[in-house]
Amino acid sequence: MAVSGIMLARAIPAIFIGPFAGVMLDRFDRRKIMIASDLIRILIALLFLLASQGRSNTMLYLLSALLMAASPFFSAGRGAILPTIADGEQLSTATSLAQTTMWLTTAVGAWLAGRSIDGFGFGFAFLLNAFSFLFSAICVWRLKGEFKVTQTSHRMPHPVSDYLDGLRYMRSIPLLFAIGLISLGWATGGRAAQILFSLFGEKVFARGAAGTGDLWGAAGVGLVTGGMIAHSLLPRLGFAAYKHTIAIAYLLHGGMYIVFSQMTNYRAALVFILLSRAAVAVSSVMNATRVMRHTANEYRGRVMSTLETLTWGMMMLSMSAAGFATADGKVETIRLVGTLSGLLSSTTAIWWTWLNLTGRLPEPPSTSPRRP
């Protein structure tokens, strides 16, 4: 329940702040907004040092909510500026690198957190987290280029009407709309699966914080591996083959997670969670590349933030259900919820395949800039 509380505290701000972040990113300098997001998150991350000394979870929930409230400005901004600094031929490589480096640091961070908590306590882990935002801000500050969208209208931004305009744009392109829907469908099980990592590490395999870190680490290695596979496949796949690959990836992702949830051997479980996350990484990199390639620059912030908002919204519901279902802490219940999460993730492939077979996924024109 405590893990679910933390994740819900993260999900709720993401749902409400995400649309506003998208509008801001399409109206103002995206690079400056990302730097501001990092600087704010440094301060919030340091406050976790105080929260770790208390006996109540209330401050942890509050700080988690504040940390996530600042995050959409960075995460959606990262996707929005990538096509600006990589031309059409380089975009798939840039997307793969962006995704895999993010996942690699997540894997390393999770593993370091589990080990450092065991050896040095929570404070050291929170300091590392704060430093990561400082490092990020420095990297973004060093980017060169024009990161403000040229506006055809000089009216003041209106969060509601501008965001609705972005939704209409997204709905007008079937592929973008479909990617949004499958992100929503995957989150029904995929996001619930993430809070189960802590339960599998602590309860099912009785490995404590180190076990949770190992599971996140294996998942991260799988994500990096999947990102590399996607990068090697992207230049070879036409649009039709891409759509078939997405369906296969979602089936494998859910199936491997079901097997993981029933494993009694700890090392075998790590292998299957690695395979599951590798499959979802293939679909994630390929879909992200398509979104960036087919979204006009002036709408890119809103499209990216909408995809995140949809995912976080469903995540809030799925994690709440998973948290309540596993509140008894029984190993059998945790395994059952894990199986259901895998099944729900796999059903995304059915929806995507139906759209493809009925001709509802035509290839849209590319909008990524090409340099001479």
- Structural domain boundaries of the chain? 2-145+165-357
Nearest alpha carbon to residue 8 among 315, 266, 222, 231: 315
List Cβ neighbours of 122 (8 Å cut-off, separation of 6 or more). Answer: 48, 52
Percentage above 90 pLDDT, the chain: 37
φ/ψ of 158, rounded to 5, equals: -120, 110
pLDDT band at 156, cuts 50/70/90?
Answer: low
pLDDT band at 372, cuts 50/70/90?
Answer: very low
CA 229 to chain centre: 18
Nearest alpha carbon to residue 263 among 201, 179, 221: 201
Cα–Cα dist 137/38, whole Å: 6
- What pLDDT, in 10s, does the model give residues 203-257? 888 887 778 878 888 888 898 899 889 988 988 889 999 999 999 999 999 999 9
pLDDT band at 194, cuts 50/70/90?
Answer: low
Q: Give the predicted TM-score (pTM) of the model.
A: 0.82
| CATH code at 2-145+165-357 | 1.20.1250.20
Judge whether 199 and 261 are in contact, CB under 8 Å. Answer: no
List Cβ neighbours of 250 (8 Å cut-off, separation of 6 or more). Answer: 182, 186, 279, 280, 283, 345, 346, 348, 349, 352
Cα dihedral value 242, 244, 248, 251, nearest 10 = 110
Report DSSP letters for 277-334, one per residue: HHHHHHHHHHHHHHHHHHS-GGGHHHHHHHHHHHHHHHHHHHHHHHHHHTTT--HHHH
